[in-house]
Each structure stands twice: as structure tokens, then as C-alpha cells.
Chains A and B, each alone.
Chain A
Amino acid sequence: MEFRYLPMTEEDKQEMLKTIGIESTDDLFSDVPPQIRFNGSLNIKEPTSEPQLLQELSSLSKQNVNLKSHASFLGAGVYDHYIPSIVDHVISRSEFYTAYTPYQPEISQGELQAIFEFQTMICELTGMDVANSSMYDGPTALAEAANLSASQTKRNKILVAETVHPESRQVIHSYAKGPGLEVIEIRQKDGVIDLEALRAEIDDQTAGVIVQYPNFFGQIEPLQEVQQLLETEKAMFIVSSNPLALGYLTPPASFGADIVVGDTQVFGIPAQFGGPHCGYFATTKKLMRKVPGRLVGQTTDEEGRRGFVLTLQAREQHIRRDKATSNICSNQALNALASSVAMSSLGKQGIKKMAWLNMQKARYLKKKLEERGIPVVYQGPFFNELVIDLQRPITEINQLLLPKGFIGGFDLGKCYSQLSGHMLIAVTEIRSKEEIDNFVKEVGDIHG
């Protein structure tokens, strides 16, 4: 079998062995003790040629119903948005995607500057002073924020609204085990955080309070009231935010948020079965030296030219080792780049228009559903998602919607016992009136 990624010829190999002074490459593995040497052949599939493998994987890919073959009303944290064509062209520049972390600034100005611009855009959207170079995804960024609030306040209790994405809450619970934090979930009322329940739980041991804005049900949380509640106890205010919504909504910084995190998947990153997406992490100047992950800073070179470097690295694992408060090493540079291109493409006006379009379409969908007699459960202000009560297993409904050309919504019963038979549906700027009308008709017919 020929291997196109391996360039050494037999002649090369012989010359190299001679230089090393050995007979065969096996001699280079003589330090592997015989009892643990692997002498068989790995039991995996045979090497496959490019045309055969492309054909096989293409047919595997076609087994999947996808967001381009069907009109999707599924959101719940991952959204089907407009991706400008230029995004993929930029991230396909191999100087970006085949580079490592920009540790040598003289030959990495492209990446460093792109990240610096990303950090700036995130600061602009969230209203915060500082943003890092990106995190794995929104939920792990949120979990890091929770842990940071505990180490910063030297307190042990994290309060998280039940209206935060269920998988984010699961990740928060997992991350909290290491430092031994107590995570308490605050129940919802009418689709938003129950302020009375929050008031009852918050105390002088509360490190951070976490809400999502807009929340998992698409509702806009009362950030003002939450802020007032935690001010007296000096707990940190952590907001997880869909950055697209911030094109229209007041940024969390205006409500006194200490940390704002979220996922920029909405900007130029395809759903790709849930990852990789791109977390962002923004905070105040006060917490700048506590931020997890990489930061790019502006400086000058020896000749006074502006340039960029990785900075404040004393925070990070490779310097602090066991004293580090986060072990994160990579960031999502390529996806942050995709989001930067998408955000640049939208620009100051486009981002507002896109957020506005989402809100308009969602309101049309809501009106249509209500006209058809399908109860929309929460009636508060919302972004682009809503909850409908269908009183029937959601999986069943989705199976019926599929042949009609629709990917239905999220089964809330999986995560909220009181919401079985409820579906969370999302609508974005790319869903047409016709698709919405037909979707409502089909759901209505099923609902009866």
C-alpha cells in the first residue's frame, strides 16, 4: 500500500539508518520492553484510497437528515443561521488552520491580530472591559466562570437558574466537583428565574449567581431585579448570553455583570453535531488577571511598530502548573476567526438587523401558533425561541414532521419533568414565512 502522506523513499531510509549507525528502524524501538511490545497488527479497517473513502463517507453523510435538506425549528443552544460565504474562504486559508498557537509573534501576527480583533468584538457586544481569545464552548466557559467566582470570592456556593441550558448546568456540576463547590439550582417561575427562590437562597456564602440571557426557553431574564438581589450579598453576577441577541438587547455589562460568557456558534459556525463551537469569556478589568485561557495584547516591536503577543501568561497552566486555577491550554482560534469574519460581515448595522429579524420571525411564529390553537406556554418578553404545549410525546411529533420536510423542536420533557409533551422551538432569520406557515399547519394537524 502506498501512503501519500509519507514522503521517505527506501533510499532515504537507508541513508538515514547509516547516519544513525543502525541496521533497521526496529533498533530504534529496542527500549520498548519485550513483554509490552505490540507484535500483532492493529484490528482496525484496512487503509482506503481517497476515491473509495470519499465515496463511503459521502454516503455515510447522506444518511443524516440535515439542516439544509429540511427546514429546522430546532435550536436549544445550537442555531441554524446565515453564514456568509466568505467565512469558509477565510478559515480555509491554511496559514491559519495549519498553524499552532501563536507562540512566535514575529511569524504569527496574522493569528494574533485576528484574536485581538475577536476580543474587541466580544467586548463591544457584551459591554465588558476584557474578553479572552475564546474557550471550548459556551457551557464549559460558564463552568469556568462559576469556579472563578468561587476562587475570587473565597466562597463555596453557586446558584444557577433552572432556566440555564440543561447541559450547561450538567457541566457546571461536573466542574464544581474538583474544588468541591455546592451548586444549587433556582427554580423557574413563568419561564424565568423565580426571584423569590433566589432571594431565599442567596447569602454571604454565595460566590456567584448564574442566569442565561435570553434563557433556555428563549425568555429574557429580569437582569435588573437579579442584580439588585445579589448586590447586598456581593455575590458575583455571571451571565451566559447568546451574543446575537446582544445586537438588540441591552448588554449584560449594563446590569452589572461580573462575567459574561456564551457561544459564538451563531456567528459563522455550522452546527456540526454540536462541536466544535466557540466559547467566549468576558469580564471586568478587575478580574483581568484571573481570566482563564489565552489573552492577546497589543504592544510594539523594537522599531516601534504596533504588534500583538500572547500576554499575562503568568495566569496560565504552563507557567503556574499546579497553582493554576484553570487547566485550559488550547482555545478555539479557528472558530473564533470564523466568528470574527461573520461579525465583520454583519457589522454595526447588520448585527442589529439580524437580531431584529429573529425576533420578528419568532413573533410571527407565536402569533400563528396561537391562532391555530396551540398554547404558547410562556408569555414574557423573548428572543427567538418559545415553548409550546403539545401534550403528546415530542419524539412522536418529530417523527411525523420529518416526512413533511421539517426538523421539529426540542423535547423539554427530557430535562424538565414538569414539561413533558412540551416542545422548545426556534426560528431564525433564514426561516421563510412559507416555512413557518407550513410548520404551524403541520403541527396544528398533529395537535388536532
Chain B
Amino acid sequence: MDKQDFPLIFEHSKYGRTSYSLPELDVPEVDLEDELDDSYIRTEAPELPEVSELQIIRHYTALSTRNHGVDSGFYPLGSCTMKYNPKMNETVARMEGFSHIHPYQEPETVQGAMKMMYDLQTSLAEITGMHQVTLQPAAGAQGEWTGLMMIRAFHEANGDRKRTKVIVPDSAHGTNPASATVAGFDAVTVKSNERGTVDLEDLKRVVGEDTAALMLTNPNTLGLFEENIVEMAAIVHEAGGKLYYDGANLNAIMGYARPGDMGFDVVHLNLHKTFTGPHGGGGPGSGPVGVTEELARFLPKPALVERNGSYVFDDDLPDSIGRVKPYYGNFGINLRAYTYIRTMGAEGLKKISEFAVLNANYMMRRLQTEFDLPYTQHCKHEFVLSGKRQKKLGVRTLDIAKRLLDFGYHPPTIYFPLNVEEALMVEPTETESKETLDGFIDTMIQISNEAKEDPEIVQEAPHTTVVKRMDETTAARKPILRYIKE
């Protein structure tokens, strides 16, 4: 460790120091070595840190100050819906009757938990316009795969084995084609048109009797509503394919439109986005999946159903794709989402989308004077700028992002979607005040001016963070993935 390096927990370690508090053995001790073969008894202790409780607290507190969350400041990270995470949700999730229940308790001892789950899946079905919802998938990507496996099971049940292709737009999130592959399909790309939405002619070209499904985010990753969705649904359905809705962007349309009404057959939701999960620094998330009545028999098992006023897990589902995750999904995250939905109600959910969309459009219109805006129609909850103009001045989108760090902002998503050069994808969310939006806009304009007048200050940013730009090339070329005691 260099003296300017921030220490690792292992570097605080000192032989003999402890921080645990375990009960003393209150039963007669037996000699374990009598029972176990020597080769199964560990000889070398794992090098876990030997630190005091205060050292642990100081270490992690210091680490937390080296981290930016929504509570630290504005986080307009496109496609991630970094909205405020209500504290009440955390209080509810820590209630003993929710946090300390075992998945294998007899169902009659956990009816309260099952009622919450049942209400949540019913509410999500209503919000999305779907027939039935499973809460089992752990996250959005697992929801995608679950949905595709159901579509696969549907085609197979029809004896239709030639449907090997899943169509994804060129603007799609990387999980879409990856999920298609993992589910055993080949991913095929459909192009976007000059308005940033799916090119209908190209869709007609790629769709066919080998089409299993079209995966779509609506609004799409450019933040634009796929206004031809009705025609698209017809094209895919007429060809015998199914429509898959990636719910990453549901925050834009709650109470205004429902995927089920648009013609989607399967929908996944990201409860850690739209429904305040929270994100947890990368997870855990939760990715419930809703389906039409036609596909309901393929849902993962067990299904949570109500029978004669009590809740049961039904495992007797012969057509189910099986289990996708142990137990019943990420209950703790689902509980937070439920608390949020109950707080907001139908009226609140619609207002969420109204303000998410208003905020994004306001920012887009104010920023379009300084930055290229490739698609000029109204956006939904997010929009994508291009840093082309600044690039000509030698300032790249990456530099703009790094410069924003100096002002205490988390930058927008950059270089995504792939079909926009030097992309900057901004998603303000509905929980930010106008003052915050204005502050960010002013800063973006200031950075744009800096790019013209003093590009170095942007190119060399950040100037104020605890570390400067990292050497990512060496990190990948000579990976150091763990600490080794010197």
C-alpha cells in the first residue's frame, strides 16, 4: 500500500483482534476430529480480516463517503430510473414478520406475507394490463429469459419448432440479445428509422415463420414512444410470433398506456427502477413477469393462488417452464415495491409518469440549444443527446461525463444506445425539483462553454474526486481481482 492509497479492510488487520460476539458453547463438547477424516478438516484458516468493531464501522463509513447515491445528489442516469428511494420502504422491509420468515414455513404461518405477494402480483397485472404475474424472477435480465422460455414453451406446445429467432431493435439494451441467446434463440436485429423508432419495412423484412418473438422497450431506449406499436404487433402476430415487452421504461407510461393493451404477450418489470427497489449499488433487483391468458399455463412454478380465502403455492402446473429461482423471488424487494404502490395508488402512479415525462421534455428543450438532439419529437421519461458538436472541439462525451463529477452530479448514461454517436442519455425522474433540473442544465451549458473556451478543463476532469481517471486498460490486461497479503 502506497501512503496515499485508501486502506483495504485487510490492511487494518492485526493478529488476535476480534469483533464477533458468539454465544459460548452450552452443550458438552465433542471431539470433531474423531468423526471427520483429517482430509476434511481445514488446516489453513481463511485470511479474513482481524479488526475491531469500530474499525469496521469507520472503514465502511469512509467507503460510503467515497460513493455517490441518489441521496448524495442528482443521478440522471438514462435507462436506470434513479428516483428517490422512500425511507418508509426500508422501515417496512425490516419488520420482523417480513424480514425473519423462512420460505419453508408452513403456508398457514405466513399468510400475511403471501397476501402481500398476492396483492402485489394482482396490482402489477392491472398496471401492465396482463392476465397473470409471477414474482419469481430475480431481476430484469432473468425476467427476460423467463419470458422467452415461456414463449419457447408456447411454440413447442404447438409443435412449432421452426421458430428459432428473436428480433431485437438495434437500440435495444444488451440483455435483450443476450437473453435470447441464453434461452436458445438466435437474435436478429431490426433497424431504427430516421425518427428513432422501429423501421416497419425492415420489421416486415426480418419477420417470418422462424420468428419466435419481437422484444421491445416502449418507450424505447431513445426515450421515444413506438407510435407504430399497433401495426408492429399486427405484423408480428400475423407471422405467428409473440411480442415481448421489456419494462425497463415503464416509468414513462403508467396510467397512460398499458403493454397488455398495446398487444404485448409477455412483460417484465424492473421493480428496482419504476417501483423504487432500491438499486443497492448494483442489486438486488426484482423482475416480475406478466403474461396473457394464453401463456399463463407456462408461468414458472409454484404459482401463488388464492383458494377459499387463503393463499397457497400451487406446484401442480404440468406445462410450467419450471422453477427459475429458488423460493418465491426477491421478497424483500417486492415488499418495498408494494409499499410504494400502496403509497401512490392509481392517481399517484399516473402523476409519476406525468412528471417523469414533463421533466425530461423540459430538460431536453433547454439543452437542445447547446447539444445535438438527433430526434426532435417529444420524448418520454428520458432523451438522448449527442456530443458530436463538442467532439469537434476535442471534447468527448466521456470528458463531459467526467466534468459533471466536479459539480457533484452523477453523469447521464454515455455511449448508449449504440445507434447515437457520442450519446448522452438523460433520465431525470419525477422525484427531482425544478431547481435541481435547472442547476444541472446550467452546469451542462457551462461545460459546453468550457469545451469552446477552455477544453482542457473538461478533458482533464475530474478535478475534485477522491481518485482521478482510472487506468482501465491495465486493469483488464493484468487483472488483479483480489487482495493478496504481502
Contacts and interface: CB of A to CB of B under 8 A. Distances in A.
A332 B283 contact: yes
Interface in B429-457: 430-434
A448 interface: no
A89 B58 CA distance: 12
A60 B338 CA distance: 13
Interface residues of B, number: 206
Interface centre among A86, A147, A272 (most CB of B within 10 A): A272
Interface string A46-63: 111010011001111111
A94 B71 CA distance: 6
A275 B327 contact: yes
B88 A54 contact: yes
Interface string A381-412: 10000000000000100110010000100100
Contacts of A38: 129, 255-258, 261
A336 B52 CA distance: 20
A262 interface: no
B185 to A, nearest CB: 8
Interface string B178-213: 111111101100000000000000000000000000
A153 interface: no
B263 to A, nearest CB: 8
B46 A307 contact: no
B281 A347 contact: no
B68 A343 contact: no
Contact of B84 (A5, A43, A351): A5
B142 interface: yes
Given A301-B467, A330-B283, A275 B71 contact: no
B104 A78 contact: yes
B363 to A, nearest CB: 9
Contact of B475 (A309, A326, A356): A309
B472 A311 contact: yes
A138 B326 contact: yes
A57 B90 CA distance: 12
A45 B482 CA distance: 49
Nearest to A48: B342
Contacts of A204: none
Contacts of A378: none
Nearest to B416: A318
A272 B101 contact: yes
Interface in A304-324: 304-309, 311-314, 316-324
Contact of B142 (A80, A136, A168): A136
B281 A334 contact: yes
Interface string B46-68: 11111101001101111111111
B154 interface: no
Interface string A84-98: 101011101111111
B178 A324 contact: yes
Interface in A1-46: 1, 3, 5-8, 12-13, 15-17, 19-21, 25, 27-33, 35-38, 41-46
A329 interface: yes
A36 B281 contact: no
B175 interface: yes
Contacts of A125: 46, 48
B127 interface: yes
Most buried by A among B60, B111, B472: B60
B425 interface: no
B22 A324 contact: no
Nearest to A2: B348
Interface stretch (B74-82, B236-244, B289-297, B386-394): B74-82
B115 A78 contact: no
Contact of B346 (A5, A37, A44, A314): A44
A350 interface: yes
Interface stretch (A114-122, A155-163, A229-237, A369-377): A114-122
Given A100-B77, A140-B142, A348-B46, A250 B41 contact: yes
Given A140-B326, A275-B333, A312-B479, 4 more contacts: A38-B129, A48-B343, A106-B402, A344-B59
17 contacts: A16-B358, A31-B377, A36-B262, A60-B113, A64-B110, A66-B97, A94-B69, A100-B82, A106-B405, A106-B462, A140-B326, A248-B41, A274-B102, A295-B481, A335-B280, A381-B40, A430-B23
Give the 6 A-B CB pairs with smallest separation, nearest first: A274-B327, A61-B97, A110-B67, A63-B112, A47-B345, A274-B103
